[in-house]
Chain A
């Protein structure tokens, strides 16, 4: 079963608007990561937030993490048509030799209209 659950499943916005995607998970984590997947391609790592961090920025991306609520959000500001893709959260709950073992959510399909 999937650890992370994204919300919404699909999001359609206009270029220039902000896009917010949410992720909830069930067990304790070492870190939470967000990945992007363009149609027919592999996943590309966007950003990693550690369990002891609450917010992280990378360019137009802002990620928050609330471990008490077991949830995270990804905000893409000033969206562009090129941001159209599926976005996945992934949790790393491993320990010992299992660090780096990621469990992915179902993803949010983002469409940005020019």
Chain B
């Protein structure tokens, strides 16, 4: 299995532009997570999907952020408009929800720089 695949690996964009991050979870996994990592705030959970349905989006910082999971093999995280403070590494992770005691598998991340 190729693991969780994220694209792009690096993104540099100008303030105000729309940014779309993509994630392909591990086949068969039914839970998907988007995290953001910064030096100041560490790893923050942004949103969590289970069986393609958003379960908890309380970590989404503001309305500029949105996430979708149209099917079991694809998810997007969109920032519109982007701001310099959105610069961070964004990770997607997936897991097989077997009830309790589930480990997460992470992608390599997308390093976003907003200038």
Contact = CB atoms under 8 A, between A and B. Distances in A.
Interface stretch (A18-26, A59-67, A68-76, A98-106): A98-106
B42 A106 contact: yes
A102 B35 CA distance: 10
Contacts of A48: 101, 103
A45 B103 contact: yes
A90 B105 CA distance: 13
Contacts of A30: 100-101
Given A42-B108, A97-B55, A105 B42 contact: yes
B100 A31 contact: yes
Main DSSP-derived SS at the B contact region = strand
A33 B103 contact: yes
Contacts of A99: 97, 99-100, 102
Contacts, number: 66
Nearest to B108: A42
Contacts of B56: 98, 101
A42 B43 CA distance: 11
Given A50-B100, A99-B97, A101-B48, A44 B106 contact: yes
Interface string A87-114: 0101010000111111111110000000
Contacts of A2: 42
Interface of A: 2, 30-31, 33, 35, 41-45, 48, 50, 88, 90, 92, 97-107
17 contacts: A31-B101, A42-B4, A42-B108, A43-B43, A43-B106, A50-B100, A88-B43, A98-B56, A99-B99, A100-B97, A100-B104, A101-B33, A101-B45, A101-B55, A102-B33, A104-B45, A107-B42
Closest 4 CB pairs of A and B: A42-B106, A100-B102, A104-B43, A45-B103
